[in-house]
């Protein structure tokens, strides 16, 4: 791969990482620290819908509204566990922790590991790792991270994208509606509709498949 092509690919990965990290913040509960972080990230985001979502969020986002929509018992659950019915909760938590640990991903958040904001943050983290590997001309490690990211997208966060987007649209809270639409554009539709899933493909994340996925 020539230097110009590599630079373009790295730039695209950095742009995608910024999108995932913006989604991570948009799906978190608003706070003073949240506002500081999202303002710092805004210049890095080149996605029109996400920058609009940031601007709207800075005007209207509130802790109360967030909890009423995405909190426990709200109409738009933020956790993967809310959208699958064939995997035991303990297994899901164990699997996600194993994946995060394999990559050295330890987010500073109070949210549980299957929360959409944590999973979006992990996707951003993987895109940054892939960009770093490509910049260092570590093609095999970059390919490994890319493959693992694709599997995580398919095997976990894609369970959330479609139903969460629909639920947020029904709620009509503008910045979360936009965030949901962007999330769905990145995940694509769920492979099978919620509560009709016959096989979650949980065997894909075995110890063998995680070998070599550690910190680059």
- What average pLDDT score do residues 164-193 get? 91
Predicted TM-score (pTM) of the model is 0.85
Question: Kind and range of the H or E element at 164?
Answer: helix 158-171
pLDDT reading at 207 higher than 70: no
Question: Which CATH architecture group holds 3-210?
Answer: Orthogonal Bundle (1.10)
CA 137/CA 103 separation, integer angstroms: 19
For residue range 30-56, list pLDDT tens digits in order: 999 999 999 999 999 999 999 999 999
Calculate the CA 6 to chain-centre distance. 25
Q: What is the mean pLDDT of the chain?
A: 87
The confidence score (pLDDT) of residue 5 equals 56
pLDDT greater than 90 at residue 204? no
Tokens of 205: 């994340």
Tell me how far apart the alpha carbons of residues 206 and 125 are, in angstroms, rounded to a whole number.
21
Rg (CA), the chain: 17
Coil, strand or helix: which one is 188?
coil
135 alpha-carbon distance from chain centroid: 23
């Amino acid at each position: 791969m020539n230097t110009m092509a590599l630079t373009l690919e790295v730039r695209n990965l950095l742009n995608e990482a910024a999108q995932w990290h913006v989604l991570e913040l948009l799906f978190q509960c608003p706070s003073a620290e949240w506002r500081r972080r999202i303002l710092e990230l805004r210049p890095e985001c080149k996605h029109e819908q996400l920058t609009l979502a940031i601007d709207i969020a800075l005007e209207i986002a509130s802790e109360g509204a967030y909890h009423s929509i995405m909190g426990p018992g709200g109409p738009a659950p933020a956790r993967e566990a809310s959208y699958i019915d064939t995997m035991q909760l303990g297994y899901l938590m164990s699997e996600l922790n194993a994946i995060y640990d394999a990559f050295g991903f330890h987010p500073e958040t109070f949210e549980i590991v299957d929360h959409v904001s944590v999973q979006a943050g992990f996707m951003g983290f993987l895109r940054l790792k892939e960009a770093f590997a490509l910049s260092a001309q570590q093609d095999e490690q970059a390919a490994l991270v890319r493959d693992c990211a694709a599997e995580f997208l398919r095997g976990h966060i894609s369970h959330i994208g479609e139903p969460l987007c629909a639920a947020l649209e029904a709620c009509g809270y503008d910045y979360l509606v936009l965030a949901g639409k962007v999330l769905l554009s990145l995940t694509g539709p769920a492979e099978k509709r919620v509560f009709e899933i016959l096989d979650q493909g949980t065997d894909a994340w075995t110890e063998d498949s995680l070998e070599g996925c550690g910190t680059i």
